Amino acid sequence: MNRATGRLDSFTDAAFAFALSLLVIGNSQIPTNIDELQSAMANVPVFAIGFAIIGMFWYGHVRWREYRGDGGGLSVVLTFALVFFVMIYIPPLQAMSASFAAYLGGSGTRFAGDIGGMFLIYGVGFTALSAVLALLFWEAERAMRRAGNARWRIARGEMGIWLILGVTGLFSILLASIAATKNFAPFVHATLPVSIGLFVWRYRWVEPVPETEMEAGPEA
């Protein structure tokens, strides 16, 4: 890995770390008494939800770099797009995390405004981040196939996972934008474990061995 790639990845890691910092301190203040301290600690589930989602996108970029290597100009542009979207994604993520934690019976605060509007904005950020990662893996797959790297099918499978995330986000945006279905938008994201699980199970992650080679067996 060359020096420019290392610096780009360091910048990306720092941006994600800063996004996590904004997530935890964006709406907090220094506790001055025990009640405020207990209230701050009660918000840990809210932070945990946001932390998991930000961590998912960060690890996606880490996985992509493993397959792509140094990359080229398109890799740089898409990485900068990922950083840009993750920075502006924090406010809707905070609102969603707090509302979801409250829905689960935790200490979060339910969103006081239009739930459809909140998930519309949240869905745009979620979809944009997923789409950028899908494009990164698409670019990695093309480069790997040109180089004759047998792991290109894994990169394509990773791209498929991010496409599922992106399409799910688009569907939630559609539901959130319609008054009659806006309350169903949050539940669309709950289908992801099933859809991604089925994809991972059914996708052929390695190139199948031709029957002629299987019959021939290893060379003596």
How far does CA 154 lie from the centroid of its chain?
18
Looking at residue 20, its pLDDT comes to 87
Q: Residue 40 burial (CB < 10 Å; 0-12/13-18/19+)?
A: middle
Q: How far apart are CA 161 and CA 155, in angstroms?
A: 10
- pLDDT single digits (tens) 167-183: 999 999 999 998 888 88
Domain ranges of the chain: 3-207
Looking at residue 69, its pLDDT comes to 85
Looking at residue 97, its pLDDT comes to 82
How far does CA 173 lie from the centroid of its chain?
16
Q: Determine the 3-state secondary structure of 149 from DSSP.
A: coil
- Residue ranges in the chain whose pLDDT is less than 70: 1, 25-32, 35-42, 103-113, 207-220
Q: Please state the length of the chain.
A: 220
Looking at residue 150, its pLDDT comes to 85
Looking at residue 106, its pLDDT comes to 54
Q: How far apart are CA 163 and CA 25, in angstroms?
A: 31
Name the pTM for this structure: 0.85
In the 8-state DSSP scheme, what is residue 29? -
Looking at residue 208, its pLDDT comes to 60
Share of the chain above pLDDT 90, in %: 46
Q: How many CB atoms lie within 10 A of CB 7?
A: 10
Cβ neighbours of residue 120 closer than 8 Å, sequence gap 6 or more: 173, 176, 177, 185
